[in-house]
Structure 1
Amino acid sequence: MAENNNTTKKRSFKHLSQYERGMIYTSREQGKSMHQIAKILRRAPSTVSREIRRGTVTQMRSDLTTYEKYFPEVGYEIYKKNRKNCGAKLRVVKAEKFLRFADGKILEEKWSPDAVVGYCRNNVYWKEEMVCTKTLYNYIDKGLLRVRNIDLCLKVRLKPKKKIIRKNKKIMGESISQRPEEINKRESFGHWEIDTVIGKRSNDKALLTLTERLTRYEYIFVIDEKDSSSIKKVFDELKVEYKENFSKIFKSITADNGSEFAELSEILKKCESKAYFSHPYSAFERGTNERHNGLIRRFIPKGKTIADLSEWAIRRVQNWCNQLPRRILRYKTPEECFLNEVSKVINYAQ
């Protein structure tokens, strides 16, 4: 037997019908009181009283004297007018400053509507003039902003993929299934995901992306080729930058089974760090890094020649990723969170 688990209470009232208004008119003509009319209609006396007050108009006799009389047509017209004014009111005028700010951030800096709302809640003084994320999306749908749905990079809700673990044929190193739960739950800093992003498939450079799982901080490096030697060169640069703190900031790195990561375990072992490898065809196991690769593709679409991009252009994309407020970080930026964690590592080492 089917059960109804609805906890929403059904409304026990309904609006007056035209027939009931006609009954009120007839009963008033017969001299009945409001309580008598309410009893006939099985309505509350206050309901009848309000309807009579709405539909009563002043009339003039032939001798120029006036009197009050209820007309159901008048009551119905006022009822319709009042219904049009029901519901939540648009705050477009009051929130004009916020909407102008949202237009600029979304169109010029490619922020999401949610990032705009979260940033303003944390950083501006005119919070009472704001609207929530859902309302901002509604305003965009209604065409109340310069922003259109086509300007939003992600407007669809993706269904989560079913986790399928396939047998790893290539043994690149320690499997992700051996990764400690502390890393899986993002409870500590210093655990990264790595991947490569290609431009044109022939005779072009590539990008190496590193994403820190806790803070969502992103590194983007241009590499000459998609091979092990190029990967080693990047980590040599990072070792020079972080020196003795490298193993504390890069505790572990999770990669896919691409041939360019064949020597990753050896590279990290020398630095007292660990490498883990996801299962084949399981990009969702490095979801943070894949998500950031999608952000990068907004600026560097597939087929674009990476060799033509200047170092300034690559740094601009990296800075955009790291300075975008994130809801998962309580609308702080990855840069803020990363620098805070790095300062803890350095202070602890001292």
Structure 2
Amino acid sequence: MAYDNHSTKRRKFKHLSEVERGIIQKLLELGYGIREIARELGRSASTISREVKRGTTTQMKTDLSTFEKYFAQTGQAVYEKNRAKCGRKSKLLGVENFLKFAEEKILKDKWSPDAVVGYCRQELGFSKDEMVCTKTLYNWIEGGLLRVKNIDLPVKVRLKPRKIKYRVAKIKSRGKSIEERPEVANNREEFGHWEIDTLVGKRSSDNVLVTLTERKTRFGMIFVIPGRESSYVKDLFIKLQKILGDKFNKVFKSVTSDNGSEFSELGKVLNELGSEGYYTHPYSAYERGTNERMNGLIRRFLPKGKEIREISKEAIKRIQEWYNRLPRRIFNYKSSIERFLVEMKEICEIGVIEKFLVEV
């Protein structure tokens, strides 16, 4: 039984099917008009009119006279041709210069895809038509359209949410707690607040890397010390104070460390130099997140187990320079060294800044 007064509505904007085109051809041959065919198919008259125009071709009779007739196959062929042209076209062939730059920076300079995209947009002035966004670049790498592979990307994982575990401290803090650190340091409003840590190569090795990271600018420094004794860390800050002179406590307003034995005298040394030292809670590396991020980047070049004494000063310097010149999204793809120099010029003279950068 058919129900003429049903409430079910035909789906709008549905394209004509091949079967419907066949019906249109047959009804036209029977002499139906456009509006009659539209009623039969439950379609708009304008839809039928456009389809008839699309599928109508000129035919020739045996007497060489011509006539026009609608063919369902012609309408279907024209429809499929038009559909093939629909949709957004790939920009792959139009961004060759961008892709060459991206491959070089990712493979040779170890940049992330996002750093490449941001740097090209902000510093090199690439237009939207000359480049692609970060998501597209990742998709093309995933699809094998570049020389860059997933294994070439330093970080290609989804980090699981970190679960904070509260443990009872085994080591009593040697100075002020991070809870006493001023808010201008916590929210990175003020320049001059640093985080510090040590990196070990082979456990049997005597040499140790000390990394210092400024919280506001993310500028980082890498030093090599003979061992993990607190005296070596003390000597390091005395050396920095000699370079900066009376500007030391403006460049190093505070330094935050963990409770490692090498930092046992850090708070006392900094107080003597006019600065402050703060200690994180035990087992809370995330409280020095800026410095931990720097350490992670350094580990790309200096993996665990690498003998630090075998690494030249030039290589250490090159790694430090790479880190500080890396474009950063948080700075609108400016580098840390650019932000650091702006802050330093408000505190020190050019000669002192140059000496500081050469010495470190």
Do the two structures share a fold, i.e. TM-score over 0.5?
yes
How much has 1:323 moved relative to structure 2?
0.5
- Partner of residue 78, structure 1: 78
TM-score by length of 2: 0.87
3-state secondary structure, aligned to 2:94: coil
Contact 1:208–1:222 under 8 Å retained in 2: yes
C-alpha displacement at 1:77, in angstroms? 3.0
CA positional deviation for 1:38: 2.8
Q: Deviations over 1:15-50 (max 9, x none)?
A: 222332233223322333333333333333333233
Match 2:268 to one of 263, 266, 269: 266
User: Match of 1:294?
Assistant: 296
> Could you tell me how far apart the structure 2 residues matched to 1:203 and 1:285 are?
28
Distance 1:284 1:46, change over 3 A: farther
For 1:57, the equivalent position in structure 2 comes to: 57
Aligned-partner SS, 1:275: strand
Indicate the SS of the match to 2:43: coil
Aligned pairs for 1:5-154 within 5 A:
12-127=12-127, 128-154=129-155
C-alpha contact (below 8 Å) 1:224/1:230 kept by paired residues: yes
In structure 2, the CA distance between the partners of 1:292 and 1:66, relative to structure 1 (3 Å rule), is same
Counterpart of 1:291 in 2: which secondary structure? helix
Match of 1:276 in 2: 278
1:266 and 1:12 map into 2 onto residues whose CA distance is: 77
Higher-Rg structure is: 2
Whether the 8 Å CA contact 1:167–1:279 is kept in 2: the answer is no
Equivalent position of 2:193 in the other structure:
191
Aligned mates of 2:12, 2:159 — CA distance in 1: 39
What is aligned with 2:232?
Answer: 230
Return the alpha-carbon distance in structure 2 between the equivalents of residues 343 and 12 of structure 1. Answer: 65
Secondary structure in structure 2 of the residue aligned to 1:210? strand
Rounded Cα–Cα distance in structure 1 between residues aligned with 2:235 and 2:44: 83
For residue 189 of structure 1, give the secondary structure of its aligned residue in structure 2. coil
- More off after superposition, 292-301 vs 309-318: 292-301
Once superposed, what is the RMSD of the aligned Cα atoms?
A: 1.9
Contact 2:205 2:309 in 1 (8 A): no
Is the contact between residue 256 and residue 283 of structure 1 (CA under 8 Å) also seen in structure 2? yes
Displacement of 1:116 = 1.0
CA distance in 1, matches of 2:136, 2:328: 19
Q: Determine the structure 2 residue equivalent to 1:218.
A: 220
The count of residues paired between Structure 1 and Structure 2 equals 337
Q: 5+ residue gaps in structure 1?
A: 1-10
1:316 deviates by 0.2
8 Å contact from structure 1 (residues 174, 275) kept in 2: yes
Tell me how far apart the structure 1 counterparts of residues 293 and 120 of structure 2 sit (CA, whole Å). Answer: 24
Question: Percent same amino acid among aligned pairs?
Answer: 56
Partners in 2 of 1:56 and 1:204 — Cα distance?
Answer: 87
Asked whether the equivalents of residues 204 and 305 of structure 1 are also in contact (C-alpha less than 8 Å), the reply is no
Q: Note the alpha carbon deviations across 1:193-238, whole angstroms, 9 max, x for none.
A: 1111111111341110011111110100011112211211211121
Partner of 1:6: none
The aligned counterpart of 1:7 is none
For 1:81 and 1:237, locate their aligned partners in 2 and report how far apart those are by CA, in whole Å.
74
Give 1:12 shift. Answer: 4.5
> Which range moves more in the overlay, 45-54 or 150-159?
45-54
Q: Does 1:201 align with 2:203?
A: yes
Of 318, 321, 330 in structure 1, the residue corresponding to residue 323 of structure 2 is 321
- Cα 1:275–1:93, aligned 2, differ >3 Å: closer, same or farther? same
Give the corresponding residue for 2:336.
334
Q: What is the aligned partner in structure 1 of residue 5 from structure 2?
A: none
Instruction: Give the SS at the match of 1:23.
Output: helix
Q: Deviations over 1:53-92 (max 9, x none)?
A: 3322333333333322222233223323333332221112
Q: Cα deviations across residues 129-184 of structure 1 (Å, max 9, x unaligned)?
A: 12211121122222222211111111222133133443433222222233233222
TM-score normalised by length of structure 1:
0.90
Q: In the TM superposition, what whole-angstrom CA distance separates every residue of 1:212-269 from its partner, at most 9, and x where no partner exists?
A: 1111101000111122112112111211221111111111111112111111111111
- Distance (whole Å) between structure 1 residues aligned to residue 69 and residue 328 of structure 2: 63
Matched residue, 1:5: none
| Separation in 2, partners of 1:185, 1:45 | 65
Q: Is the 8 A contact 1:165 1:279 kept in 2?
A: no
